[in-house]
Amino acid sequence: MRIPWEGKRQDAISLYQRALLIREATLGPQHPQTSETRAHMQALRQSMDGSEKATPEEGQKTDQDE
């Protein structure tokens, strides 16, 4: 089954990087919205660590877990 966002995470990282540069330039590096963008980008990167093949069901128990 192919999920809609499969393979799009790297595109999202690029967009977050662009947004972060803009926010740092306009709002400053310590602004709450800049920090929020940085945190979202970091969360996405962590989710990508070995899980580019993740499915929406990830984290749910499967029959194999029991």
Could you tell me the two tokens for 7?
């393979």
- pTM for the complete prediction? 0.63
Q: Interior CA angle at 36 toward 39 and 49, to 5°?
A: 20
* Successive 10-residue mean pLDDT values, the chain, 66 residues: 68 92 97 96 84 40 42
Domain spans, the chain: 10-41
SS (H, E, C) the chain: CCCCCCCCHHHHHHHHHHHHHHHHHHCCCCCHHHHHHHHHHHHHHHHHCCCCCCCCCCCCCCHHHC
pLDDT for position 61: 38
**pLDDT for residue 47:** 84
Sign of the Cα torsion 52, 5, 15, 58 reads negative
Token pair 């128990």 is found at 61
